[in-house]
Amino acid sequence: MDRASLNRKLITTVVKKGTEFTEAVSMTLKQEKLTIQQFNVLRILRGRKGEAASLQDVSKDMIHNNSNTTRVIDKLVTKDLVKRIQCPTDRRQIELTITQDGLDLLSKIDKKVEASEADILKETSDEDLNLLIELLNKI
C-alpha cells in the first residue's frame, strides 16, 4: 500500500473508531438524559474544584468545539446541574459553577461511562493502549 493510501486508511479508521466511541458513551449518557456535550461541560466545571469558569474557559476546554456552548449550558442551568451568575460590574460576563446535583450526577455516571469505556477497549492490552496513545500524540 502506498503512503497516500495508508494516510487515508489511518484517518478513516480513526474517524470511524472515534464515532463508535462517541456513540457508545452517548448511549450511556442518554439513560441519564444528558448529551455528550453536557457531560463534557459538567466534567470541565467539576475539574475546576469549585472555582468559577467563564463561558470562554468552558468553550476552550470542550472536546467538541461548537458554537452552541451557551445553549448547552442553558440546558444544564435549567436542570439545576450548573449555576450561572452574572457579573455585577459587567453584565456580559458570567460565572459558571457546577451544583451539588451536578456533582452527584457525575459521580453516578462516572461508573457507567468507565464501564462503557472498559467494554469498548476490553480486547486491548495496557501496552497497546499506551502505544496507541503515544502514536496518536505524534500526529
Q: What is the pLDDT of residue 58?
A: 93
CA 53 vs CA 23, 48, 98: distances in Å: 28, 8, 10
Instruction: Name the pTM for this structure.
Output: 0.86
CATH topology of domain 3-138: Arc Repressor Mutant, subunit A (1.10.10)
What are the angstrom distances between the C-alpha of 113 and each of 28, 87, 98?
6, 34, 19
Output the pLDDT for position 87: 76
Helix (H, G, I), strand (E, B) or coil at 97: strand
What average pLDDT does range 82-91 have in this prediction? Answer: 84
Give pLDDT, residue 90.
76
